[in-house]
Structure 1
Amino acid sequence: MKLLVLVVAALYACAHAGVTIQNEIGDNIKAHLGRQELQFHAGSTVITDDDQQLIAELQTRETQDRNLVANAIRDALEGFRDDVINGNDVLPPLDPFHVPHIGPFEYSATAIRVRGNLHNFQMEGLRWYVVDHVTFNTLRLALGVQITVPWLTFTGSYDAFARVALVTHNAGGNYRVFINRLQTSVDVRVGTNILGGGTLILRELNIDIVIHNINIQIDGMVGSSLLNNMINAWVQNMAQNLLRDELEAFSQLLSQQLFDVVAEFLANFTLDDLLG
Structure 2
Amino acid sequence: MSMKVKDVDFDIIENPAPTSHLWKQWKHMSTRSVWAVTKTSERNMVGSVVWNEYDDLCFLGFYLLAPEYRVLKMVPKYKAHDTPVDGPLLENFQISSNDFHAALMNYKSLDLTQKFVKDLSKEEWEQFLKYDQSVTGRDRHEFLEIYFKKLDYTFGIVFYEKTDNIVSVISAVPTGHLEKKLFKISPLFANSTDTAFHAMKAISDVMLDQHPNATLVVYLVGILDGSFTALQKFFKDLNIKSGISGITLYSDHYPQQGDLDKVFIPHNSSCHFDY
TM category (shorter chain) comes to under 0.3
- Identify, as 1 or 2, the structure richer in strand: 1
| TM-score, structure 2 as length reference | 0.22
Higher relative contact order (Cα pairs below 8 Å, separated by 6+ residues)? 2
Q: Which of the two has higher C-alpha Rg?
A: 1
- Identify, as 1 or 2, the structure richer in helix: 1
